[in-house]
Chain A
Amino acid sequence: MSPARADYAVGKPFRKVLVANRGEIAVRVCRTLREMGIPSVTVTSDADRGSPHARAGDESVTIGPAPAAESYLNASAILDAARRTGAEAIHPGYGFLSENAAFAAECRVAGIVFIGPAPESMARLGDKSAARRTAASLGVPPVPGAEEVPSVERAVTEAERVGFPVMLKASGGGGGRGMRLVASASEMKSAYETARREAASAFGNDRLLLEKYVHPARHVEVQILADGREATALGERECSLQRRHQKLIEESPSAAVRSKTRNAMENAAVTLAKAAEYAGVMTAEFLMGADGSFYFLEVNTRLQVEHPVTEMRSGLDLVRAQILIAAGRSVAEALAPSGGAAPGAARAGPLPQPLRGHAIEARLCAEDAYHGFLPQTGTILALAWHEEDGVRIDSGIAQGQSLSPYYDSLLAKIIAHGRDREDARTKLLRALRGTALLGVVTNQSFLIDLLEDRSFMEAETFTHTVESREWRAPADIPDAALAALAAFSSEPRAQGGAEEDTDRYSPWQRLGAWGRS
């Protein structure tokens, strides 16, 4: 009997949960744990000791040096931290160990609940090659390609069979890492080697697969909640606006998905989840052609970065649902409003309330969108968010924080919910315009460009839309900005050369115990 069961009767699924992640997602998971009355433990690398996520839980453990391989990917250090703090379960967030079946198995051996699917389900669906085989066997056609390309020569042969251009992808990972578009045989060697290196570094697994490059295509995915027997679809998200195969803007519903296509995609996703006896949240990703036909792409066996889009439309808390399902509850119980499951609700039924309105998410990243999306580091000198009903900010940053080059560039997600697409779009634009982040170059201005672009306004968004165009930084500084600079420079406290120590809005004032490095 797992310790989880002991508390079942009094309604608390776990006595304590460790959050094995960093940044905005660690902060977000801690929020739900607090709401559920479950004490939380966060883990940090040496580089993250002063970051907001280190303070988001009830206690925090330092698990290793800055490189992820020695900290956030260090399974034994994380399990040790869980044992030492008495955590009964581990929430892996996304990325890092979240789709690592070996880690999920280690948790099981250690008697700690992994908040996610069983390692067997993960192996069947999380590995992209295995998922393609599973999907094909269930009548869900994958993108034409090859599950295994163990050599450059084999990759060229398979690419010639399905026709260039093709995509090389890491079998064991997601998030755009280890992915390369290959236009011709002469590019294969270099692309193959880079993809393998990235895959090995990001996922500890350098196996690659190959797929035909579908063009033009939209990226549409279906959110699933399942309990090992039943599975419920929570609508789709369109995430076509990407750079380097990483999503920038996500929305639900997709303006391009008709209800017949939606039903077919949802059925395919439910079929996959049930076949794998999947328990937890799951996302099935599809590529949709201009004619509405779609191919299966992959399954993400974890919480997605863009899950708030679905939460805003459904009113559900998907992290809470994950935790309840990991504690053995059913989909129906996980979907019930907080405060208690409907007694006897054993089967998955319809959603407690239908999906409402339109939600759009923008990912604020530390990167120079106007110069090759190069990652940026620095210290956040000043930070302010926009507050409004229907606007949600999931942030992992704070004023005074130093951004290190070790981790993903995602800083925060800004999500707007409106009665329709235009309402959500204008709300999100207002939120972006009302945000100020100084000290580190971000893609904030570029996100505004995208939301104001005709392609987005007309919902003509495809996976190549961002990278097929040249985006330019605003040329001139507005007069108002110069006036603000002039006023700031002539403020009495800004004189005398000690601004950083005396300015009211100086980062150091809010640094607290982090120290000035």
Chain B
Amino acid sequence: MSRRLALRRGGTPVAVPYERKGDRVVLDLGDRRFEAEVKREGFWLRVRSGESATRCAVARGRRQMWVSCDGRTYVLDEDRPEAAATGAGSTDEIRAPMTGRVVQVAAEKGASVREGDLLVTIEAMKMEFRLTAPEDGVVSEVRCAAGERVELGDLLVTLDPKA
């Protein structure tokens, strides 16, 4: 196999060696192979394998590949070393789950919190979302303030879990 897909999905590597000759694509899936004919039909890629035919669409974003087949869409991160390093935060880092505005900061530096206690409230698309403590601990850092705009993934609060 001369080529290789090097992607990650939700942190799990999707590493698939493959071969391509004209319209034929052969995937090496470890315990088996998947052979298909893939033809571009305008917007779509038509994937035929044996009796089955699927219409897929693929697009490349800045750091991700998007593929949609039969109405289901899958997002895969391109497997770059720096992407792995900045992956999902540990459980004591409370990050913004979406881009929005901070409505209220309940967390105070040095305060003890119980699992489920409110830390920060964010508003996006006119809905409020409550970010709560994932476990008992002490708030070690508060990095946001009411009224601020935050981007997806921004660090808002760090929590030292109770030993």
Q: Which residues of A contact B (CB under 8 A)?
A: 68, 177, 190, 194, 197-198, 201-202, 244, 366, 372, 374-379, 381-382, 384, 405-409, 432-439, 441-442, 444-445, 448, 474, 477-491, 494, 499-500, 503, 505, 507
Q: In the complex, are the beta carbons of B27 and A479 less than 8 A apart?
A: yes
B75 partner residues in chain A, CB cutoff 8 A = 441
Q: In the complex, are the beta carbons of A474 and B7 less than 8 A apart?
A: no
Q: In the complex, are the beta carbons of A435 and B71 less than 8 A apart?
A: yes
Q: In the complex, are the beta carbons of B125 and A409 less than 8 A apart?
A: yes
Q: In the complex, are the beta carbons of B71 and A480 less than 8 A apart?
A: no
Indicate which residue in B34, B60, B71 contacts A494 across the interface (CB closer than 8 Å): B60
B25 partner residues in chain A, CB cutoff 8 A = 483, 486-487
Contact A436 B73, CB 8 Å, known A244-B127, A377-B152: yes
B66 partner residues in chain A, CB cutoff 8 A = 381-382, 438-439
Sample (5) of A-B pairs whose CB atoms are under 8 Å apart: A377-B99, A405-B99, A445-B72, A480-B52, A491-B40
Q: Which residues of B contact A (CB under 8 A)?
A: 3, 5, 7, 9, 14, 16, 18, 20, 25, 27, 29, 34, 36, 38, 40, 43-45, 47, 49, 52, 54-62, 65-76, 97-101, 103, 118, 121, 123-130, 152
The smallest C-beta distance from B142 to any residue of chain A, in angstroms, reads: 20
The smallest C-beta distance from A49 to any residue of chain B, in angstroms, reads: 19
The smallest C-beta distance from A299 to any residue of chain B, in angstroms, reads: 21
Contact A375 B125, CB 8 Å, known A405-B99, A445-B73, A484-B45: yes
The smallest C-beta distance from B154 to any residue of chain A, in angstroms, reads: 13
Q: Please, how many angstroms separate the alpha-carbon atoms of A320 and B78 in the complex? A: 49
Indicate which residue in B49, B54, B73 contacts A437 across the interface (CB closer than 8 Å): B73
Closest residue of chain B to A386, judged by CB?
Answer: B71
B55 partner residues in chain A, CB cutoff 8 A = 434
The smallest C-beta distance from A229 to any residue of chain B, in angstroms, reads: 37
B18 partner residues in chain A, CB cutoff 8 A = 482-483, 486, 490
Closest residue of chain B to A441, judged by CB?
Answer: B75
Given A438-B61, A445-B72, 13 additional A-B pairs, CB 8 A: A68-B126, A198-B127, A201-B126, A372-B97, A372-B129, A382-B43, A405-B100, A405-B101, A438-B58, A438-B59, A480-B49, A485-B58, A486-B38
Contact A483 B43, CB 8 Å, known A377-B152, A437-B73, A445-B71: no
Q: Please, how many angstroms separate the alpha-carbon atoms of A372 and B98 in the complex? A: 12
Q: In the complex, are the beta carbons of B69 and A478 less than 8 A apart?
A: yes
Closest residue of chain A to B46, judged by CB?
Answer: A484
Q: In the complex, are the beta carbons of B124 and A477 less than 8 A apart?
A: no
Indicate which residue in A406, A407, A486 contacts B5 across the interface (CB closer than 8 Å): A486
Q: In the complex, are the beta carbons of B43 and A384 less than 8 A apart?
A: yes
B152 partner residues in chain A, CB cutoff 8 A = 377
Q: In the complex, are the beta carbons of B59 and A483 less than 8 A apart?
A: no
Q: Please, how many angstroms separate the alpha-carbon atoms of A201 and B122 in the complex? A: 13
Indicate which residue in B20, B49, B65 contacts A490 across the interface (CB closer than 8 Å): B20
Q: In the complex, are the beta carbons of A379 and B61 less than 8 A apart?
A: yes
Q: Please, how many angstroms separate the alpha-carbon atoms of A480 and B35 in the complex? A: 9
Q: In the complex, are the beta carbons of A194 and B128 less than 8 A apart?
A: yes
A405 partner residues in chain B, CB cutoff 8 A = 98-101, 124-125
A384 partner residues in chain B, CB cutoff 8 A = 43-44, 57
Q: Please, how many angstroms separate the alpha-carbon atoms of A490 and B40 in the complex? A: 13
Q: Please, how many angstroms separate the alpha-carbon atoms of A483 and B14 in the complex? A: 13
B58 partner residues in chain A, CB cutoff 8 A = 382, 438, 484-485, 487-488
Q: Please, how many angstroms separate the alpha-carbon atoms of A436 and B61 in the complex? A: 15
Indicate which residue in B60, B61, B129 contacts A374 across the interface (CB closer than 8 Å): B129
Q: In the complex, are the beta carbons of A480 and B69 less than 8 A apart?
A: yes
Indicate which residue in B27, B128, B130 contacts A482 across the interface (CB closer than 8 Å): B27
A438 partner residues in chain B, CB cutoff 8 A = 57-59, 61, 66-68, 73
The smallest C-beta distance from A405 to any residue of chain B, in angstroms, reads: 4
Closest residue of chain A to B69, judged by CB?
Answer: A481
Contact A479 B45, CB 8 Å, known A486-B20, A488-B58: no
The smallest C-beta distance from A497 to any residue of chain B, in angstroms, reads: 11
Q: In the complex, are the beta carbons of B125 and A197 less than 8 A apart?
A: no
Q: In the complex, are the beta carbons of A436 and B3 less than 8 A apart?
A: no
Q: In the complex, are the beta carbons of B34 and A487 less than 8 A apart?
A: no
Q: Please, how many angstroms separate the alpha-carbon atoms of A489 and B6 in the complex? A: 10
Closest residue of chain B to A484, judged by CB?
Answer: B56
Indicate which residue in A197, A376, A408, A480 contacts B56 across the interface (CB closer than 8 Å): A480
Closest residue of chain A to B56, judged by CB?
Answer: A484
Contact A503 B27, CB 8 Å, known A198-B128, A405-B125, A444-B71: no
A378 partner residues in chain B, CB cutoff 8 A = 61
Q: In the complex, are the beta carbons of A448 and B71 less than 8 A apart?
A: yes
Q: Please, how many angstroms separate the alpha-carbon atoms of A462 and B62 in the complex? A: 41
B5 partner residues in chain A, CB cutoff 8 A = 482, 485-486, 489
The smallest C-beta distance from B95 to any residue of chain A, in angstroms, reads: 12
Q: Please, how many angstroms separate the alpha-carbon atoms of A366 and B99 in the complex? A: 12
Residue of A379, A436, A477 with highest tally of chain B CB at under 10 A: A436
The smallest C-beta distance from A499 to any residue of chain B, in angstroms, reads: 5
Q: In the complex, are the beta carbons of A483 and B74 less than 8 A apart?
A: no
Q: Please, how many angstroms separate the alpha-carbon atoms of A375 and B45 in the complex? A: 29
A507 partner residues in chain B, CB cutoff 8 A = 59
The smallest C-beta distance from B61 to any residue of chain A, in angstroms, reads: 6
Q: In the complex, are the beta carbons of A381 and B20 less than 8 A apart?
A: no
Q: In the complex, are the beta carbons of A481 and B123 less than 8 A apart?
A: no
Contact A381 B60, CB 8 Å, known A177-B127, A438-B68, A487-B38: yes
